[in-house]
Amino acid sequence: MFRFSYHGDPFSDATKKIATGAFVTGLLLIGFGMLVFILRDLFAFLAAAVFFLAGFSAMGYAIRLYFARHRMKKHDDFYRNNVEIHYDDEF
């Protein structure tokens, strides 16, 4: 009903799995390298598009920060009118 099987050294199994993963990763890297070599114009266009969009995104973020800073600076005195800070004496 129940079968018990002993497969050997667990370090050997772990080494086999690591070697298999490294081999598959190497094949994937070689394949991706060949794909980039063959389609270099397409990948150059995609990389340029990513950097272009990232540049516009960074500029938009900077503009929003400048507007927020300007808005906070303009209303700086508004938040401090009629404000009193009281400290309790514990002694």
Classify 9 in phi/psi space as left (phi over 0), alpha (psi -120 to 50) or beta: beta
Does pTM top 0.85 for this prediction? Answer: no
Decide: 72 and 65 in contact? Cβ < 8 Å.
Answer: no
What rounded mean pLDDT belongs to the chain?
Answer: 82
Domain ranges for the chain, please list them: 10-74
What does the block give as tokens for 77?
């005195």
Confidence of residue 4 (pLDDT cuts 50, 70, 90): low
- Measured CA to CA, the distance from residue 20 to residue 1 in angstroms comes to 33
Confidence of residue 9 (pLDDT cuts 50, 70, 90): confident
Q: At residue 15, does pLDDT exceed 80?
A: yes
Q: At residue 31, does pLDDT exceed 80?
A: yes
Long-range contacts of 88-91 (CB under 8 A, 24+ apart): none
Q: Per residue in 51-90, pLDDT tens?
A: 999 999 999 999 999 888 888 776 655 555 566 777 777 6
Confidence of residue 11 (pLDDT cuts 50, 70, 90): confident
